[in-house]
Amino acid sequence: MINKKLLALICVSSMVLSLAACGSAEQKAADPAPEAVESTDTAEAPEKEEVSEPATEEDTAEETEEVSEESESSAEFSLGTINGNVYENDFLGIRIAIPDDMAFANEEELAQLSSTTADLLKDQAKVKDMIENGSVIIACYASTDNSKSPLYTINLTMQSFSSMGLSAIAVKNFSEEDILSAASDSVIQALGNGGFTNVKTNIEDVEFLGEKHASMSITAEIEGYGTLYEREVVVISNDCIASYTASAFGTDSDETTDVLKYVQKY
């Protein structure tokens, strides 16, 4: 039987992934764009009469409003809902339909995984504020019977780019591969601290939601339980970092891409 501590460790890398993305974002936002550096070295100083007037407060407000309108989503924020073996999230435009041998975690279990309370998770406005302030929330988690081997799990975590103080324009400079690359060392360290050994990561493209997305494959071993195979796919949508993680534990082969097929466009 796989204990609850080990189940929590299987979720930990997806939490670390989103948190590591924050540090990567702040660093990239601080770095000067190559074009800006080059133009500083080569451009001639303009003549006095050609210098443009500074933007007024009205101009700045109009530009900010345009960015806000472009970045706003028509879908209202939501952690999603579960109906039997189907999880649906209108905000992300996805559903996760799991087979009969899997079950979704209930509200109390989700709250424990996200280090919060079930009552708080029911308040979508408060959850939205938490995410925008930097929290990483597990929106759904499903697994097979943890008393049997092999164990298969799938979970979805959500974090907001707004918590990083980035504009909609700045977010466009990030790729899924950037986020995964920034998280690799942190994932290895987190699993190592949890007792896993021989932890390895690899970033590669996979077919997900009918499109090609970057993914991180993870393998790790723990004495007495066997090998953990895990795969994480990050999708940037509606000012949100949505991280989908599938795992296969105690198997002889990587079956995580098959588990990710439970995620469908809504």
**What is the pLDDT at residue 245?**
92
pLDDT of residue 42: 42
Q: What does the pLDDT profile of the chain (266 residues) look like in tens digits?
A: 455 666 666 666 666 655 554 544 445 445 544 443 343 344 444 444 444 455 554 554 444 444 444 444 467 888 999 999 999 999 999 999 999 999 998 888 888 877 788 888 888 888 888 888 878 888 999 999 888 888 899 999 988 766 555 555 555 667 888 888 888 888 888 888 888 899 999 999 999 999 999 999 999 998 877 888 999 998 887 778 899 999 998 888 999 999 999 999 97
155 forms bridges with which residues in the sheet?
Answer: 141, 245
Sheet bearing 263-265, strands edge to edge? 81-83, 86-89, 94-97, 263-265
Integer Cα distance of 80 and 157 in angstroms: 11
- 220-221-227 Cα angle (round to 5): 85
pTM of the model: 0.77
**Is residue 221 within 8 Å of 252, Cβ to Cβ?**
no
Tell me the two tokens of residue 179.
């986020």
Which domains are assigned to the chain? 4-29+69-265 (3.40.1000.10)
